[in-house]
Amino acid sequence: MSEDTETMPIEDYLAQGGQLTSPANVPPRYRGELLRLMASFVDSELAASAGFADTINTAPGITARIAACKITLEKADHAGRVLDLMGDFGADQGRYATQHPWADRLPRDAALGQARHGADMRLAVFHYPIEGWVDAVVMNVLQGLAAGVTLDEMARVSYAPLADVFRAIAPRERRHTELGVTGLAEIAATEAGRAEAKASVVYWRPRVADSFGSLASARFETQKRFGLRHRPNEALLADWTAQVQATLAPLGLD
């Protein structure tokens, strides 16, 4: 970091695919959108971790129990890594992490759609309660696939330290989904298990789909201009839809 004369406006630089590297060189509006995006990720990971913690005790067997522990642990860790970056911008990390009751959930039949709810920025899907082990596994698989699609998109984010974090955590998030798919295959091996899983798929599928946000989003254009996003919500949703079908069909759950 130092200075020179042959520069260009930061907006042009971003529009041409440039990356920013520290709080010192981000423009104000970029700062706002970037922090919002990071807060949404942190809140979703903390809420996901908190929600999954309860499922540890419903896990059938030690392997399943360890998988649930691992997911609970690593989602909190991923939140911490992004919160560290928010700290570079001045966020009070200690207060932030305890700011909201991350384990709080709404009733199962609440109808949030795509709207955020309450005081934190978690995706709406993390406001719905998980009911039992099978439900947890199904939610983890569907939401895990969604996280995979989102992380592919976010690994190109123009704030380089954040892109680095997303690239580092993507393989671990992918592993969470793989653990889920293994668990789901075991569940779907019996008729009773398959029926229960199917009911959970019916419940979670539209709710996870909603987390891709509104189609033709106005905010997307702003984020795209800043290089914070690249592909529209529609494209991400289509990727996820295809992946869900490819994952569920072999298990007889589609």
Partner 1 sequence: MARFHSLDVVDVRKETRDAVVVTLKPRGEDAALFDFTQGQYLTFRRKFDEDELRRSYSICAGKGDGLLKVGIKRVDGGAFSTWANEELTAGTTLEAMPPMGRFFTPIEPEAARNYLGFAGGSGITPVLSIIKTVLAAEPRSTFTLVYANRQISSIMFREELEDLKNRYLGRLSIVHVLESEAQDIDLFTGRVDAEKCAALFRTWIDLPSISTAFICGPEPMMLAIAGALKEHGLAEAQIKFELFASGQPGRARKRAVSAEATASNSTTEATVTLDGATRSFRMPKEGQSLLDAALSANIDAPYACKAGVCSTCRAKVLEGETEMAVNHALEDYEVRQGYVLTCQCFPLSDKVVVSYDQ
* C-alpha–C-alpha distance, residues 12 and 144, integer Å: 35
Instruction: Please tell me whether residue 5 binds partner 1 under the rule CB under 8 A.
Output: yes
Cβ closest to partner 1, residue 51 vs residue 161: 161
- What are the two backbone dihedrals, phi and then psi, of residue 106, each rounded to the nearest 5 degrees? -90, 175
Instruction: State the residue for tokens 């039992």.
Output: 132
Angle among Cα 227, 229, 164 to the nearest 5 degrees reads: 75
Instruction: State the residue for tokens 């998030």.
Output: 173
Instruction: Please tell me whether residue 16 binds partner 1 under the rule CB under 8 A.
Output: yes
* C-alpha–C-alpha distance, residues 252 and 254, integer Å: 6
In DSSP terms, which residues pair with 20 in a beta bridge? 159
- CB of residue 36 to partner 1, shortest distance in Å: 5
Instruction: Please tell me whether residue 108 binds partner 1 under the rule CB under 8 A.
Output: no
Instruction: Please tell me whether residue 172 binds partner 1 under the rule CB under 8 A.
Output: no
b vs e for 86-114, b when ≥16 Cβ sit within 10 Å of the residue's Cβ? beeeebeeeebeeebebeebeeeeeebeb
**Contact with partner 1 (CB under 8 A) among 77, 88, 178, 254:** 88
Q: Between residue 231 and residue 250, which ones bind partner 1 under the rule CB under 8 A?
A: none
- CB of residue 46 to partner 1, shortest distance in Å: 12
Q: Between residue 187 and residue 226, which ones bind partner 1 under the rule CB under 8 A?
A: 218-219, 222
- CB of residue 102 to partner 1, shortest distance in Å: 13
* C-alpha–C-alpha distance, residues 126 and 147, integer Å: 13
Contacts of 54 (CB under 8 A, 6+ apart): 103, 130
Instruction: Please tell me whether residue 57 binds partner 1 under the rule CB under 8 A.
Output: no
**Contact with partner 1 (CB under 8 A) among 26, 47, 125, 187:** 26
Instruction: Please tell me whether residue 8 binds partner 1 under the rule CB under 8 A.
Output: yes
Angle among Cα 150, 145, 169 to the nearest 5 degrees reads: 60
**Contact with partner 1 (CB under 8 A) among 62, 109, 111, 119:** 119
Instruction: Please tell me whether residue 62 binds partner 1 under the rule CB under 8 A.
Output: no
Q: Give contact residues for partner 1 (rule: CB under 8 A).
A: 1-8, 10, 12-13, 16-22, 24-29, 31-33, 35-36, 39-40, 43, 86-92, 95-96, 99-100, 119-121, 155-156, 160-161, 163-164, 167, 218-219, 222
